Amino acid sequence: MEAITGLITQGDGVTMPVFWIMCGVSFIGSLVAAMWGLGGGALVLAVMALYFPPAAMIPLHGVVQFGSNFGRAMIMWREVLWTLVPAFLVGTVLGAMIGANTVMALPTPVLQIVVALFILYAAWAPKFKGGAPSQPKFFVVGALGAFTTMFVGATGPLIAPFVGAASDDRHKVVATHGMLMTFQHGFKCIAFGIVGFAFAPYIALLAGMLGFGFLGTVAGRHVLLRMREDIFRTGFKIVLTALAIRLGYGAIGKLVG
């Protein structure tokens, strides 16, 4: 037992209580994400911030979100709007490359407020349709999301309104958003590996969170199957609104603080 405990608690900030707390939070976060398409990642990040230093929290969160989104996309792969994926992937690569080599003159909190306002508009504007779900449009969405996440970290909520407008089927919205976010979180993980972040001490924690996250995805998928489309759309807007308020509140705090 001591050997297992020692293996689990190698990483900075990891204790046995923290391990089980984070596994539980990963389950709940994936369940929420499988129901609404997003929102679970913000919950996981908020709890991780209580126990881990930022230098470890951000790359660990990227791995957990990659796993959560990948699991959702694989379970629902038949519902993914695959025609949008290639253009989005190319846009993601381009946006990440530009973002990694760009120095923004605009302060990050200002960008966060702009993104938060856009999310609120996209969620509640009666005429926001995001346009036809074309490959050129999702090339731009992928590039914009990857570029913005280098400074803002709001990729999921930024992309979600366009995915929500691309289909009237809640299953396709959740599945497609999961697939698109799999690519963006995947590139983040690769980037952290390249710059030398040591994932090895956290392998046990990540394995536990990924496993419980997959169970949460399965549970959330069952809830989604029984959910009415109008309830999904209302919940989708509420989750987007909550994330936008959280993003804007944090940005304003940085500006006035």
Concatenating the DSSP letter of every residue in 213-235 gives: HHHHHHHHHHHHHHS-HHHHHHH
CA dist 249 and 247 (Å) reads 6
For the chain, give the number of residues: 257
* SS3 readout for 118-143: HHHHHHHCCCCCCCCCCHHHHHHHHH
So what's the pLDDT on residue 41?
Answer: 79
Residue 116: what pLDDT?
80
What pLDDT, on the 0 to 100 scale, is given for residue 210?
95
Q: Along the 257 residues of the chain, how does pLDDT read in single tens digits?
A: 777 777 777 877 788 999 999 999 999 989 988 887 777 877 887 788 788 877 788 788 889 989 989 998 999 889 999 999 999 999 988 887 776 666 555 566 777 787 788 777 767 766 555 555 678 889 988 888 887 766 665 577 778 888 888 888 888 988 999 999 998 888 878 877 887 888 889 999 999 999 999 999 999 888 888 888 788 888 878 887 887 888 788 888 888 86
Q: What is the pTM of this model?
A: 0.76
Residues 193-212: tens digit of each pLDDT:
887 888 889 999 999 999 99
| Whole-number pLDDT of residue 24 | 95
pLDDT at res. 152: 61
What per-residue confidence (pLDDT) applies to 213? 93
> Which pLDDT belongs to residue 101?
64
Confidence (pLDDT) at 230: 84
Write the DSSP assignment of 78-115 as a string of letters. GGS-GGGHHHHHHHHHHHHHHHHT---SS-HHHHHHHH
Residue 163: the pLDDT is 87
